[in-house]
Amino acid sequence: MIENVARGQQVFTSNAFLVTGERTALVDAGNEFDAVAEVRDRDAALDAVVLTHTHPDHVGNTDALAEAFDCDVWGFDPDHELVDHAVADGDTVRLGDHSYEALHTPGHKDDHICLYADDPEVLFAGDLVFANGSFGRTDLPEGDREVLIDSIEYLRDTVSPELSEMHTGHGPSVTDDPYDHIETALRAARF
């Protein structure tokens, strides 16, 4: 099961997806809300926090979660102070009951990854692409529009057209033809 524990928060935060199952994990920690209480309210005990990237709105709650649940933090940049274990392009990470492939997708931030499971066709897209063809900002430090376009192409070429769910760093998740939303984002980013 996948649930956004940041849903309804009226603060500067990313989405934070609790993935329960064999290995309970939180994809992104969110910021400026009590993520520990939100996880505990769902009777969950975290085994890991996995970061799509290290912008403040995605990592603000990381220390509190790691301390409360005595869990490790996974992310692309092993030199980042919050990251205990590096996840490189092509590595697999267990989230819930499925293995997700890490896809290094810079352009919004150098350490950005997406997480994709071809069975059950689920994608955590971070801030690379969003619903309705939106795409990540490139006006922040480490942002690069051409690199972002390459990353969206890499994502489009890696995931299946049969993708059933896309969970994004902000805004709603997409369950109605998410592959089309990726293609639309690519066209918009190229424009």
Architecture of the domain defined by 2-190 = 4-Layer Sandwich (3.60)
Contact 59, 89 (CB under 8 A): no
Mean pLDDT of the chain: 98
In the prediction, which pLDDT does 167 show? 98
Q: Where are the beta strands (DSSP E) in the chain?
A: 2-4, 17-19, 25-27, 48-50, 72-75, 85-86, 92-95, 98-104, 113-117, 122-126, 165-168
8 Å CB contact between 170 and 127: yes
| 3-state SS record for 42-68 | CCCCCCEEECCCCCHHHHCCHHHHHHH
List, in order, residues 6 or more apart from 66 with CB less than 8 Å away: 49, 72, 73, 84
What pLDDT is stored for residue 65 in this prediction? 98
Q: Which residue ranges make up each domain of the chain?
A: 2-190
Per-residue pLDDT, averaged over 45-51, amounts to 97
Cβ atoms of residues 89 and 77 within 8 Å: no
Cα separation, 125 vs 176, in Å, equals 15
pLDDT value at position 64? 98
How much is the pLDDT for 5? 98
pLDDT in tens, 127-144: 999 999 999 999 999 999
Q: Is 93 helix (H, G, I), strand (E, B) or coil?
A: strand
pLDDT of residue 170: 98
Res 103: pLDDT: 98
Question: What are residue 142's phi and psi, to 5 degrees?
Answer: 75, 0
Q: Whole-structure pTM over 0.85, yes or no?
A: yes
Report the pLDDT averaged over residues 33-49: 96
User: Cβ(52)–Cβ(16) under 8 Å?
Assistant: no
Q: What is the mean pLDDT of residues 105-116?
A: 98
